[in-house]
């Protein structure tokens, strides 16, 4: 049975699972979505994500923020994360080792 509403919808559903104060990487969501190669597409999904999707909790593998997150750039991206208590490194990247989301075992 397929509840497929498009690749984006599937990715959005995963992004919604990210707890407050934690972050996930594009590749991580791609992997959870079933295809590790969808990392790039995850970015597109975030760009087109509805307001109920915490797209600010998605960062790249290096913990780097998105320049296209908003017109204001990564500044607003960082602000939203800091408001959730997400720890940052001196270089401005997210301290993934402290707040990387650990999804429950992917149920088959």
Partner DNA sequence: AGTATGACATAGC
Partner DNA sequence: AGCTATGCCATAC
Q: How far is the CB of 36 from DNA (least distance, A)?
A: 7
The per-residue DSSP string of 39-59 comes to HHHHHHHHHT--TTS-GGGEE
55 assigned to active site:
yes
Q: How far is the CB of 65 from DNA (least distance, A)?
A: 8
Write each residue from 52 to 81 as x if it is in contact with DNA (CB under 7 A), else as -, in one continuous string.
---xx-x-xxx---xxxx-------x----
Q: Which of 46, 50, 49, 36 is nearest to 66 (CA)?
A: 46
Kindly give, in sequence order, each residue whose CB lies less than 8 Å from that of residue 1, ignoring residues fewer than 6 positions away. none
Structure token pair of residue 15: 């992004």
**Restricting to residues 78-107, which ones interact with DNA according to CB under 7 A?**
none
Please list the active-site residues.
55
Residues near DNA (CB under 7 A): 6-8, 25-28, 30, 35-44, 46-49, 55-56, 58, 60-62, 66-69, 77
């Amino acid at each position: 049975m397929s509840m497929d509403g498009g690749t984006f919808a599937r990715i959005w559903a995963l992004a919604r699972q990210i707890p407050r104060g934690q972050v996930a990487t594009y590749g991580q969501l791609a992997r959870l979505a079933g295809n590790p190669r969808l990392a790039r597409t995850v970015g597109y999904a975030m760009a087109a994500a509805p307001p109920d999707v915490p797209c600010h909790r998605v960062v790249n593998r290096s913990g780097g923020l998105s320049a296209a997150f908003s017109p204001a750039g990564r500044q607003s991206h960082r602000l939203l994360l800091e408001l959730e208590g997400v720890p940052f490194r001196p270089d401005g990247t997210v301290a993934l080792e402290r707040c990387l989301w650990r999804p429950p075992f992917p149920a088959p």
